[in-house]
Amino acid sequence: MKTLLNIIWLVFGGFWLALGYFAAGIICCLLIVTIPWGIASFRIAAYALWPFGQMVVDKPGGNGPFALLGNVIWLLVAGIWIAIGHVATAIAMAVTIIGIPLAIANLKLIPVSLMPLGKQIVPSNTPFVQAYR
């Protein structure tokens, strides 16, 4: 079922979302100072490409003061706009019955798009994830 949902997701929005995150990652890496945001953007791009069967968890030891400061800067510069884009896309996807799981997956991307530093994306069936549920 996850594979079918991922294929539908890829066709109806996942490819474009991942492409946007990938482009943002390239821009951030070119600016040198924003490389941490670029790496986070590449992680989110992979998640946006194939979200079903994965989940976002806090990175062990990754929620220090620098991650918090970086997340606040990201939130003000790009995070809020990306989150608005996810909400708008989720509303459009939720119009049909088939699109409702896709809309939920789109809403699942909002927290990591707002605060990407200090997070990691792991398969949802790993023992690591089971311990943090």
Q: In sequence order, what are the beta bridge partners of 56?
A: 121
Q: Tell me the whole-structure pTM to 2 decimals.
A: 0.82
pLDDT band (50, 70, 90) for residue 91: very high
Q: What residue spans of 10-123 are helical by DSSP H?
A: 15-30, 35-49, 65-74, 80-93, 100-108, 110-114
Please state, in angstroms and rounded to a whole number, the distance separating the CA atoms of residues 15 and 65. Answer: 33
48 and 21 Cβ atoms separated by less than 8 Å? yes
Residue found under tokens 């945001």: 37
Predicted confidence (pLDDT) at residue 124 exceeds the cutoff of 70: yes
**Confidence (pLDDT) at 45:** 92
> Dihedral through CA 60, CA 61, CA 65, CA 69, nearest 10?
-40
Nearest 5 degrees, angle CA 103-CA 39-CA 35? 130
**Confidence (pLDDT) at 39:** 92
Average pLDDT estimate for 63-81: 88
Q: In sequence order, what are the beta bridge partners of 113?
A: none
